[in-house]
Chain A
Amino acid sequence: MRYYVKKIISLIMVLFLIMLLTFIAFQVIPGDGALSKLGVDAEEEAVEALREALGYNKSMPERFFCFMSGAIRGDFGTSYQYSRPVSDLLAARLPVTVGLAVISILMIVVLSVPLGLLCSHREGGVADSIITFVTQTLMAVPAFFLGILITLLFGLVLKWFVPGSYVAPGENFGQFLHYMIFPAFAIAVPKIAMTVKFLKTSVLRELKLDYVRTARSKGNSERRVLWHHVLKNALIPVITFMGMVIADVLAGSIVIEQVFNLPGVGRLLISAISNRDYPVVEAIVVYIASVVLIVNFIVDLLYQKVDPRVKLQD
């Protein structure tokens, strides 16, 4: 029990730290929201009035308190660019990014386990050599180039989808899914390569242990040993690794949304940065950081649940 309390307290502290760092980072910028909203040519009085209205004249700790209490309630202020609440903007974009992440994580899980086992089944065999070579190469392809290649191959040559023809999920869910498969694939492929490699190392390490020899000597087929005995144990380190992968998937979607023209959180972030729309940038940074932290928190708990050998004290 104490372990959980400790973990939750440290999670809250890190979340606080993130909000503080984000807040400070955007205080360093010369100029402020009032100025960037009205332009440099605006009248001094108008700027001053807006500053007062937006609360820029309060003291730093006071403003941080406002920012933090707003963030907890999900209120990040108003976007300079769209003059709408940041939370509305985020809510509209969130389904796209979450959908993209879910589809690619599903692809990663479904494809990398069989491939990883295939590799470790006969180390050094033909399948292993081919998969190792392919994964090594795929890990070197940057996500946006992969996205371009996928657009070229599936969109323009094979004509399986029309590039840029994104459909909102509310409009036609089937078409939405159909289009999302390709960007999700672009995000998933390098991660599948990494996971296969990681799983292979993990399985090979397990195969050297005594319980595998026992299982074999009891007359289990090699396939049964792999799927029923080894896989369970080999997947334990993969869980931690998946935590990292999920963070990477979220980061990857920032770029991939740009490649496939998806109206997601990542695209919003990039346009907010280009237009110096700081409330939106702050909100998205805090949002992505929190998701990453919470995922890692859950992964830690899961890890401890599936592997009782992990000590609770640390």
Chain B
Amino acid sequence: MAQQKRSIKKNRSLIVGIVLVSIVLLFVVVGLFWTPYNPTQMSAALKNKPPSLTHPFGTDYMGRDILSRVMEGAGTTFLISIVTVLIGLVCGTVIGALTGYYGGIVDELLMRLNDTLTSFPSILLALVFVSVIGTGKYNIVIALGIIFIPSFARVVRSEFIVQKELDYVRNAKLLGAGDFRIMFVHILPNTKPILLSSITIGLNNAILAEAGMSYLSLGVQPPDPSLGRMLSEAQAYLLRAPWFAMAPGMMIVLTVLGFSLISENIKGSAA
């Protein structure tokens, strides 16, 4: 009974998470093709106007429509996060699979390096990368992508270590399957549940990291809108135009909350 109650509760959280993420995705996808106004259109007459029917989220200090800017900025943030996680996922999976399957001295060395890297706050690593390779949209993707490799590699590696001892792998070996076939055709699909929750957590971390870097003006550069950048611009107008900070900030909160609700409850319902 209690079990059932808990699983209903879990399901409800999962649904809330999916709804939140869908709303944000809707904004982003629509924003790719259509925004209510031109996001970079300035207007002297419309400076710092509070939310109204014509401008649902108000306008900023240059008279630009905040809704349009949030739609486009969320798109930039999303795109960067997705590419970042993809880099981390692909490289991390390959490294994790190889080291987990073969083990040995390379595995030992890579895992030591991994331990050292993951013990650092990720924003510090990102800052080091950015100061070496420079700021900007593409550099942020590279920096964050590399930083995400260790966490995926670790998850995949530990899963491979468990799976490679199981009967189905021995069976495949007896049938003459090659190492690579076993790794990527037989074992990899079984790591899906764990990878799925790592991906959602990774997306969250990427969104927060990108927003943070752009807030520090080390990420996306103007005139490209980004949620983090909008927040840093909004800070100067906090007293006169508090809505300017609210829209991009709430967008980040809803996205991250949605993804974390999904990642936390997805395991329970998959099993």
Q: Residues of A with Cβ closer than 8 Å to B? A: 14, 17-18, 22, 25-26, 28-29, 136-137, 139-145, 148-149, 151-152, 156, 163, 247-248, 250-251, 254-255, 258-259, 269-270, 272-274, 276, 278, 281, 285, 288-289, 292-293, 296
Contact = CB atoms under 8 A, between A and B. Distances in A.
B124 A254 contact: yes
B212 interface: yes
Contact of A152 (B124, B212, B242): B242
Please classify how large the interface on chain B is, using the bins under 10, 10 to 19, 20 to 34, 35 or more: 35 or more
B255 to A, nearest CB: 8
Given A250-B121, A281-B131, A289-B120, A148 B234 contact: yes
26 contacts: A22-B128, A136-B260, A139-B260, A140-B204, A141-B252, A142-B212, A144-B212, A148-B234, A148-B235, A148-B238, A149-B249, A152-B245, A156-B239, A247-B119, A247-B120, A251-B124, A254-B123, A255-B123, A255-B215, A270-B127, A270-B216, A272-B131, A278-B131, A281-B128, A292-B121, A293-B119
Contacts of B238: 148, 151-152, 156, 163
Contacts of B131: 272-273, 276, 278, 281
Interface of B: 116, 119-124, 127-128, 130-132, 204, 208, 211-212, 215-218, 228, 231-232, 234-235, 238-239, 242, 245, 249, 252-254, 256-257, 260-261
Given A254-B124, A258-B215, 13 more contacts: A136-B257, A140-B256, A144-B212, A145-B231, A145-B253, A148-B249, A248-B121, A251-B121, A251-B122, A251-B124, A270-B127, A270-B216, A276-B131
B252 A269 contact: no
B8 to A, nearest CB: 12
B124 A288 contact: yes
B215 A285 contact: no
Contacts of A269: 127
A242 to B, nearest CB: 14
Contacts of A254: 123-124, 127
Contacts of A139: 256, 260
Contacts of B120: 247, 289, 292
B146 to A, nearest CB: 12
B116 A144 contact: no
A17 B130 contact: no
B130 to A, nearest CB: 7
Contacts of B128: 22, 25, 281, 285
A29 B130 CA distance: 11
A17 B124 contact: no
Nearest to A141: B253
Given A144-B212, A292-B121, A273 B127 contact: yes
B245 A148 contact: yes
B11 to A, nearest CB: 16
